[in-house]
Amino acid sequence: MRELTYVARHSVEWREAPDPALRSGREAIVAPVAATSCDVDSAILAGHGFLDPPFALGHECVARVVDTGDAVTTVATGDLVVVPWSINCGSCGHCRAGLTAHCTAVPHTAMYGAPIGGGWGGLFSDLVRVPYADAMLVPLPDGLDPVAMASAGDNWSLSWRLVAPHLKSRPGARVLVVARGSIGLYVCDIARALGASDILYVDPDPGHRKLAESFGARTAETLEPVRHGFDLAVEATGRVDQLAQTVKCLAPEGICESAGNHFRAGELPLLDMYLTGVTLRVARDNVRAHIPDALALAASGTVDPARVVSHVLDWEQLPDALPEKHLKPVFVRDST
Ligand SMILES: [Zn+2]
Ligand SMILES: [Zn+2]
Protein backbone atom coordinates (compact mmCIF):
# COMPACT_ATOMS: atom_id res chain seq x y z
CA MET A 1 0.00 0.00 0.00
CA ARG A 2 0.98 3.65 -0.26
CA GLU A 3 1.31 6.23 2.47
CA LEU A 4 1.57 9.94 1.74
CA THR A 5 4.91 10.97 3.16
CA TYR A 6 6.11 14.44 4.11
CA VAL A 7 9.60 14.60 2.60
CA ALA A 8 10.59 18.29 2.62
CA ARG A 9 9.12 21.78 2.97
CA HIS A 10 6.05 22.03 0.67
CA SER A 11 6.69 18.50 -0.58
CA VAL A 12 4.90 15.18 -0.07
CA GLU A 13 5.04 11.95 -2.08
CA TRP A 14 3.57 8.45 -2.07
CA ARG A 15 5.88 5.87 -0.54
CA GLU A 16 5.28 2.13 -0.50
CA ALA A 17 4.77 0.41 2.85
CA PRO A 18 3.70 -3.12 3.79
CA ASP A 19 -0.07 -3.61 4.05
CA PRO A 20 -0.99 -3.41 7.76
CA ALA A 21 -2.22 -6.65 9.35
CA LEU A 22 -4.23 -7.33 12.50
CA ARG A 23 -1.91 -7.98 15.44
CA SER A 24 -4.58 -8.79 18.04
CA GLY A 25 -8.29 -9.47 18.31
CA ARG A 26 -8.92 -5.88 19.42
CA GLU A 27 -7.67 -4.28 16.20
CA ALA A 28 -9.23 -3.15 12.96
CA ILE A 29 -7.92 -2.27 9.51
CA VAL A 30 -9.63 0.69 7.89
CA ALA A 31 -9.39 2.39 4.49
CA PRO A 32 -9.79 6.20 4.57
CA VAL A 33 -12.54 7.39 2.21
CA ALA A 34 -12.48 11.12 3.04
CA ALA A 35 -9.34 12.58 4.57
CA THR A 36 -8.40 16.18 5.19
CA SER A 37 -5.59 18.27 6.58
CA CYS A 38 -5.51 19.42 10.19
CA ASP A 39 -4.62 23.08 10.59
CA VAL A 40 -1.26 22.00 11.98
CA ASP A 41 -0.50 20.11 8.76
CA SER A 42 -0.36 23.44 6.94
CA ALA A 43 2.29 24.60 9.43
CA ILE A 44 4.22 21.35 9.01
CA LEU A 45 4.08 21.63 5.20
CA ALA A 46 5.31 25.23 5.45
CA GLY A 47 8.34 23.98 7.38
CA HIS A 48 7.31 25.38 10.77
CA GLY A 49 7.14 22.02 12.57
CA PHE A 50 9.75 20.55 14.87
CA LEU A 51 9.91 17.04 13.38
CA ASP A 52 12.39 16.14 10.69
CA PRO A 53 10.99 14.45 7.56
CA PRO A 54 10.32 11.90 6.25
CA PHE A 55 7.14 10.77 8.00
CA ALA A 56 3.63 9.69 7.01
CA LEU A 57 1.22 12.62 7.22
CA GLY A 58 -2.48 12.96 8.01
CA HIS A 59 -4.62 12.52 11.11
CA GLU A 60 -8.18 13.46 10.12
CA CYS A 61 -10.41 11.05 8.20
CA VAL A 62 -13.61 9.13 7.86
CA ALA A 63 -12.78 5.55 6.86
CA ARG A 64 -14.42 2.29 5.81
CA VAL A 65 -13.72 -0.71 8.09
CA VAL A 66 -12.17 -3.49 5.99
CA ASP A 67 -11.22 -6.05 8.67
CA THR A 68 -11.70 -6.54 12.40
CA GLY A 69 -10.25 -8.80 15.08
CA ASP A 70 -12.41 -11.40 16.84
CA ALA A 71 -12.83 -9.29 20.00
CA VAL A 72 -14.13 -6.16 18.24
CA THR A 73 -17.82 -5.58 19.01
CA THR A 74 -18.72 -1.94 18.21
CA VAL A 75 -17.81 -1.75 14.52
CA ALA A 76 -17.95 -4.24 11.65
CA THR A 77 -16.53 -4.63 8.17
CA GLY A 78 -18.20 -2.14 5.85
CA ASP A 79 -19.00 0.47 8.51
CA LEU A 80 -18.08 4.11 7.98
CA VAL A 81 -16.19 5.37 11.03
CA VAL A 82 -14.51 8.49 12.36
CA VAL A 83 -10.87 7.81 13.23
CA PRO A 84 -9.54 9.92 16.12
CA TRP A 85 -6.13 11.53 15.72
CA SER A 86 -4.69 10.03 18.92
CA ILE A 87 -4.04 6.41 19.79
CA ASN A 88 -5.93 5.44 22.94
CA CYS A 89 -6.78 2.11 24.58
CA GLY A 90 -10.03 3.04 26.31
CA SER A 91 -9.25 1.09 29.46
CA CYS A 92 -6.27 2.70 31.25
CA GLY A 93 -6.92 5.20 34.03
CA HIS A 94 -6.41 8.24 31.79
CA CYS A 95 -8.66 6.88 29.04
CA ARG A 96 -11.42 6.03 31.55
CA ALA A 97 -11.17 9.61 32.85
CA GLY A 98 -11.57 10.97 29.32
CA LEU A 99 -7.91 12.00 28.97
CA THR A 100 -7.60 10.10 25.72
CA ALA A 101 -4.64 12.16 24.47
CA HIS A 102 -2.66 10.82 27.42
CA CYS A 103 -3.27 7.06 27.19
CA THR A 104 -0.73 5.15 29.27
CA ALA A 105 -0.95 1.93 27.21
CA VAL A 106 1.09 3.55 24.41
CA PRO A 107 4.02 6.01 24.34
CA HIS A 108 2.91 9.50 25.40
CA THR A 109 1.63 11.62 22.46
CA ALA A 110 1.04 8.51 20.29
CA MET A 111 -0.86 9.71 17.22
CA TYR A 112 -1.36 9.30 13.51
CA GLY A 113 0.46 11.64 11.15
CA ALA A 114 3.47 12.59 13.30
CA PRO A 115 6.12 10.27 14.76
CA ILE A 116 6.21 11.74 18.25
CA GLY A 117 4.88 8.77 20.25
CA GLY A 118 5.97 5.82 18.16
CA GLY A 119 5.17 5.18 14.53
CA TRP A 120 1.46 4.67 13.75
CA GLY A 121 1.49 5.85 10.14
CA GLY A 122 -0.70 8.60 8.74
CA LEU A 123 -4.33 8.78 7.64
CA PHE A 124 -3.42 9.86 4.10
CA SER A 125 -2.63 6.15 3.60
CA ASP A 126 -4.42 3.51 1.58
CA LEU A 127 -4.86 1.34 4.69
CA VAL A 128 -4.53 2.07 8.41
CA ARG A 129 -4.20 -0.20 11.44
CA VAL A 130 -6.33 0.84 14.43
CA PRO A 131 -4.90 -0.83 17.54
CA TYR A 132 -7.94 -0.43 19.82
CA ALA A 133 -10.92 -0.49 17.49
CA ASP A 134 -13.74 -0.48 20.09
CA ALA A 135 -12.13 2.33 22.08
CA MET A 136 -11.08 4.52 19.16
CA LEU A 137 -13.52 4.23 16.27
CA VAL A 138 -16.84 6.08 16.25
CA PRO A 139 -19.47 5.01 13.70
CA LEU A 140 -20.51 7.91 11.47
CA PRO A 141 -24.21 8.59 12.18
CA ASP A 142 -26.59 7.97 9.29
CA GLY A 143 -27.21 11.08 7.26
CA LEU A 144 -23.85 12.71 7.89
CA ASP A 145 -21.68 13.23 4.83
CA PRO A 146 -18.14 11.76 5.12
CA VAL A 147 -16.75 14.75 3.20
CA ALA A 148 -18.32 17.30 5.57
CA MET A 149 -17.23 15.26 8.60
CA ALA A 150 -13.71 14.33 7.44
CA SER A 151 -12.42 16.56 10.24
CA ALA A 152 -14.49 14.96 13.01
CA GLY A 153 -11.49 13.03 14.34
CA ASP A 154 -9.73 16.27 15.25
CA ASN A 155 -10.48 19.89 14.25
CA TRP A 156 -14.30 19.70 14.18
CA SER A 157 -14.58 17.94 17.55
CA LEU A 158 -11.81 20.09 19.01
CA SER A 159 -13.75 23.18 17.95
CA TRP A 160 -16.85 21.82 19.73
CA ARG A 161 -14.81 21.33 22.91
CA LEU A 162 -13.25 24.81 22.72
CA VAL A 163 -16.63 26.53 23.09
CA ALA A 164 -19.56 24.18 23.79
CA PRO A 165 -18.90 23.45 27.49
CA HIS A 166 -18.25 27.16 28.19
CA LEU A 167 -21.38 28.35 26.40
CA LYS A 168 -23.35 25.85 28.47
CA SER A 169 -22.06 27.31 31.75
CA ARG A 170 -22.10 30.92 30.44
CA PRO A 171 -25.17 31.19 28.19
CA GLY A 172 -25.00 34.03 25.72
CA ALA A 173 -21.28 34.61 26.21
CA ARG A 174 -19.48 37.10 23.99
CA VAL A 175 -16.89 35.15 21.96
CA LEU A 176 -13.62 36.34 20.39
CA VAL A 177 -12.01 34.07 17.77
CA VAL A 178 -8.47 34.84 16.61
CA ALA A 179 -7.53 32.25 14.03
CA ARG A 180 -6.03 31.36 10.67
CA GLY A 181 -7.61 28.09 9.52
CA SER A 182 -10.53 25.71 9.81
CA ILE A 183 -10.70 25.61 13.62
CA GLY A 184 -11.68 29.27 13.99
CA LEU A 185 -14.39 28.93 11.34
CA TYR A 186 -15.86 25.80 12.91
CA VAL A 187 -15.80 27.66 16.24
CA CYS A 188 -17.84 30.53 14.75
CA ASP A 189 -20.42 28.10 13.41
CA ILE A 190 -20.68 26.17 16.70
CA ALA A 191 -20.69 29.26 18.92
CA ARG A 192 -23.53 30.82 16.93
CA ALA A 193 -25.52 27.57 17.04
CA LEU A 194 -25.05 27.34 20.80
CA GLY A 195 -26.22 30.85 21.55
CA ALA A 196 -23.20 33.16 21.69
CA SER A 197 -24.53 36.73 21.88
CA ASP A 198 -21.64 38.20 19.88
CA ILE A 199 -18.79 36.68 17.87
CA LEU A 200 -15.81 38.64 16.58
CA TYR A 201 -13.61 36.67 14.16
CA VAL A 202 -10.12 38.05 13.48
CA ASP A 203 -8.10 36.76 10.52
CA PRO A 204 -6.09 38.57 7.79
CA ASP A 205 -7.51 36.24 5.10
CA PRO A 206 -10.54 37.87 3.39
CA GLY A 207 -11.95 34.51 2.22
CA HIS A 208 -11.91 33.17 5.76
CA ARG A 209 -13.58 36.35 7.05
CA LYS A 210 -16.34 36.01 4.46
CA LEU A 211 -17.04 32.47 5.67
CA ALA A 212 -17.06 33.64 9.29
CA GLU A 213 -19.58 36.34 8.35
CA SER A 214 -21.78 33.63 6.80
CA PHE A 215 -21.77 32.02 10.26
CA GLY A 216 -23.00 35.25 11.83
CA ALA A 217 -19.70 36.61 13.11
CA ARG A 218 -18.45 40.17 12.93
CA THR A 219 -14.95 40.20 11.48
CA ALA A 220 -11.72 42.17 11.59
CA GLU A 221 -8.43 41.88 9.74
CA THR A 222 -6.33 42.55 12.84
CA LEU A 223 -7.08 42.48 16.53
CA GLU A 224 -7.51 45.87 18.18
CA PRO A 225 -7.54 45.11 21.92
CA VAL A 226 -10.98 45.65 23.46
CA ARG A 227 -10.65 45.93 27.22
CA HIS A 228 -13.04 43.56 29.01
CA GLY A 229 -14.73 42.92 25.67
CA PHE A 230 -15.25 39.13 25.67
CA ASP A 231 -16.20 36.37 28.09
CA LEU A 232 -14.63 33.61 26.04
CA ALA A 233 -11.77 33.69 23.55
CA VAL A 234 -10.36 31.08 21.19
CA GLU A 235 -6.88 31.55 19.77
CA ALA A 236 -5.79 29.27 16.92
CA THR A 237 -2.97 31.07 15.15
CA GLY A 238 0.16 29.33 16.44
CA ARG A 239 1.54 32.78 17.28
CA VAL A 240 2.25 33.81 20.85
CA ASP A 241 1.91 37.54 20.05
CA GLN A 242 -1.66 36.84 18.90
CA LEU A 243 -2.37 34.82 22.03
CA ALA A 244 -1.04 37.72 24.15
CA GLN A 245 -3.35 40.18 22.39
CA THR A 246 -6.27 37.79 22.74
CA VAL A 247 -6.04 37.38 26.52
CA LYS A 248 -5.91 41.18 26.91
CA CYS A 249 -9.47 41.35 25.53
CA LEU A 250 -11.03 39.14 28.19
CA ALA A 251 -13.57 40.29 30.73
CA PRO A 252 -12.88 39.59 34.43
CA GLU A 253 -12.66 35.82 35.04
CA GLY A 254 -12.76 35.25 31.27
CA ILE A 255 -11.63 32.04 29.63
CA CYS A 256 -9.12 31.69 26.81
CA GLU A 257 -8.82 28.43 24.93
CA SER A 258 -5.70 28.12 22.79
CA ALA A 259 -5.52 25.43 20.12
CA GLY A 260 -1.76 25.52 20.66
CA ASN A 261 1.01 24.48 18.28
CA HIS A 262 3.10 27.52 19.16
CA PHE A 263 6.31 26.29 17.60
CA ARG A 264 8.13 29.50 18.56
CA ALA A 265 8.49 30.85 22.10
CA GLY A 266 7.10 34.19 23.23
CA GLU A 267 5.85 36.19 26.19
CA LEU A 268 2.41 36.43 27.74
CA PRO A 269 1.12 39.46 29.75
CA LEU A 270 0.94 37.50 32.99
CA LEU A 271 0.45 40.50 35.31
CA ASP A 272 -2.41 41.73 33.16
CA MET A 273 -3.90 38.24 33.16
CA TYR A 274 -3.52 38.04 36.95
CA LEU A 275 -5.30 41.34 37.51
CA THR A 276 -8.14 40.37 35.15
CA GLY A 277 -8.41 36.80 36.44
CA VAL A 278 -7.87 34.80 33.27
CA THR A 279 -8.16 31.06 32.79
CA LEU A 280 -5.92 29.97 29.91
CA ARG A 281 -5.96 26.43 28.57
CA VAL A 282 -3.35 25.30 26.04
CA ALA A 283 -3.86 21.64 25.32
CA ARG A 284 -3.82 18.85 22.83
CA ASP A 285 -7.40 17.76 22.65
CA ASN A 286 -8.76 14.60 24.29
CA VAL A 287 -10.84 14.32 21.18
CA ARG A 288 -12.13 10.76 21.42
CA ALA A 289 -14.09 11.62 24.56
CA HIS A 290 -16.31 14.16 22.78
CA ILE A 291 -16.48 13.03 19.14
CA PRO A 292 -20.01 11.65 19.82
CA ASP A 293 -21.22 15.03 21.16
CA ALA A 294 -19.62 16.90 18.26
CA LEU A 295 -21.21 14.50 15.74
CA ALA A 296 -24.58 14.91 17.45
CA LEU A 297 -24.38 18.67 16.99
CA ALA A 298 -23.49 18.15 13.31
CA ALA A 299 -26.45 15.79 12.91
CA SER A 300 -28.81 18.34 14.51
CA GLY A 301 -28.70 20.44 11.36
CA THR A 302 -28.04 23.66 13.29
CA VAL A 303 -24.45 23.84 12.00
CA ASP A 304 -22.89 23.46 8.55
CA PRO A 305 -19.33 22.07 8.64
CA ALA A 306 -19.49 21.39 4.88
CA ARG A 307 -19.21 25.14 4.30
CA VAL A 308 -15.61 25.08 5.60
CA VAL A 309 -14.55 22.41 3.09
CA SER A 310 -12.57 24.44 0.55
CA HIS A 311 -11.86 21.76 -2.07
CA VAL A 312 -13.10 18.23 -2.78
CA LEU A 313 -10.35 16.38 -4.63
CA ASP A 314 -9.54 12.87 -5.75
CA TRP A 315 -7.31 10.71 -3.55
CA GLU A 316 -4.77 10.49 -6.37
CA GLN A 317 -4.31 14.27 -6.30
CA LEU A 318 -2.88 14.22 -2.77
CA PRO A 319 0.83 14.61 -3.63
CA ASP A 320 0.24 17.60 -5.92
CA ALA A 321 -2.67 19.28 -4.20
CA LEU A 322 -2.03 18.91 -0.47
CA PRO A 323 0.88 21.40 -0.33
CA GLU A 324 -1.18 23.95 -2.29
CA LYS A 325 -4.68 23.78 -0.81
CA HIS A 326 -4.58 25.19 2.66
CA LEU A 327 -7.97 25.82 4.25
CA LYS A 328 -9.76 22.46 4.24
CA PRO A 329 -9.18 20.27 1.17
CA VAL A 330 -10.91 16.89 1.45
CA PHE A 331 -9.45 13.99 -0.54
CA VAL A 332 -11.93 11.27 -1.40
CA ARG A 333 -12.00 7.84 -2.96
CA ASP A 334 -14.61 5.20 -3.71
CA SER A 335 -16.11 4.05 -0.44
CA THR A 336 -17.71 0.81 -1.60
ZN1 LIG B 1 -4.51 17.96 14.35
ZN1 LIG C 1 -5.52 4.28 27.55
Q: How far is the CA of 227 from the centre of ligand 1 (A)?
A: 31
- What pLDDT sits at residue 336? 54
Q: How far is the CA of 132 from the centre of ligand 2 (A)?
A: 9
Beta carbons of 168 and 193 less than 8 angstroms apart: no
In angstroms, rounded to a whole number, what is the distance separating the alpha carbons of residues 278 and 59? 32
In the structure, ligand 2 is a single-atom ion and the residues with CB under 5 Å from it are 88-89, 92, 95, 103, 105
Q: How far is the CA of 133 from the centre of ligand 2 (A)?
A: 12
CATH superfamily, region 2-154+286-332: Medium-chain alcohol dehydrogenases, catalytic domain (3.90.180.10)
Q: How far is the CA of 256 from the centre of ligand 1 (A)?
A: 19
- Ligand with smallest separation from the Cα of 103: 2
Beta carbons of 178 and 223 less than 8 angstroms apart: yes
pLDDT tens for 245-255 read 999 999 999 99
Beta carbons of 308 and 327 less than 8 angstroms apart: yes
Task: Write the DSSP symbol of residue 194.
Answer: T
pLDDT tens for 67-81 read 999 999 999 999 999
In terms of Cβ atoms closer than 10 Å to its own Cβ (0-12, 13-18, 19+), residue 2 is: middle
- Ligand with smallest separation from the Cα of 60: 1
Q: How far is the CA of 289 from the centre of ligand 2 (A)?
A: 12
Instruction: Say how many Å lie between the first and final Cα of the chain, rounded.
Output: 18
Nearest to 217 by CA among 259, 184, 240: 184
Q: How far is the CA of 275 from the centre of ligand 1 (A)?
A: 33
pLDDT tens for 246-297 read 999 999 999 999 998 898 899 999 999 999 999 999 998 999 999 999 999 9
pLDDT tens for 294-322 read 999 999 999 999 999 999 999 999 999 99
- What pLDDT sits at residue 158? 98
- Ligand with smallest separation from the Cα of 93: 2
Q: How far is the CA of 261 from the centre of ligand 1 (A)?
A: 9
What Å distances lie between residue 305 and 7, 51, 156, CA to CA? 30, 30, 8
Beta carbons of 311 and 329 less than 8 angstroms apart: yes
- Ligand with smallest separation from the Cα of 183: 1
Residues 6 or more apart from 195 whose CB is under 8 A from it? 167, 171, 172
Task: Kindly indicate the confidence band of residue 335, based on its pLDDT and cuts at 50, 70 and 90.
Answer: low
- Ligand with smallest separation from the Cα of 57: 1
Taking the domains of the chain in order of start, what are their residue ranges? 2-154+286-332, 155-282
Q: Does domain 155-282 have CATH number 3.20.20.80?
A: no
- Ligand with smallest separation from the Cα of 236: 1
The Cα angle at residue 82 between residues 300 and 308, in degrees rounded to 5:
60
pLDDT tens for 183-229 read 999 999 999 999 999 999 999 999 999 999 999 999 999 999 899 99
Query: Is 155-282 the same fold as 2-154+286-332?
Result: no
- Ligand with smallest separation from the Cα of 88: 2
In terms of Cβ atoms closer than 10 Å to its own Cβ (0-12, 13-18, 19+), residue 154 is: buried
